[in-house]
Amino acid sequence: MWPRFSEEIEAILREAGWHPGRSAFPAALPADYTLFPSAREALEEFGGLHVGTCGMGTDFARSDILFAPDLGEGLARHISQTPEGRRIYPLGEVQHGHSYLFIDEAGVPYLYSVELTKCGDSLDEGLISTLLGIRISGLNRWTITGL
């Protein structure tokens, strides 16, 4: 069986306090979103961690992720679902608050600033893309209007 993460990603996660089997659910949740299983699982594993650093990446800038879902409070008036109608939930902020990390009901991660951008087919892919600045091929991009 292959390891879940590359050595580089695992080192970044461990430096932030992550370890396999970690379970630390954050106390503060945004009131304007409904928690669903994929969001709960992500927050149980990564909640409260500040992972990675900003800087040069492979295809674009590396970003940090602060797993604090309450930082997404108030965003529901702008964005609450994917264009396919799947609900999303904020996991925290990226790039020191310049964008936000969301997850949908199917476990697909998205970045949001002025548009919603799929950043992987799974949260693990989203972590690789965001923390290392690697473009995952075939991703969709949608612009959310009315902000």
Yes or no: say if 52 and 131 are a contact pair by the CB < 8 Å rule: yes
Residue with more model confidence, 123 or 139: 123
Q: What is the band of 76 on the pLDDT scale with cuts at 50, 70, 90?
A: very high
Taking all residues of the chain, what is their mean pLDDT, rounded to a whole number?
90
Average pLDDT over residues 54-68: 95
Q: Name 48's bridge partners.
A: none
Q: Name 90's bridge partners.
A: 102
Single pTM value for the model: 0.90
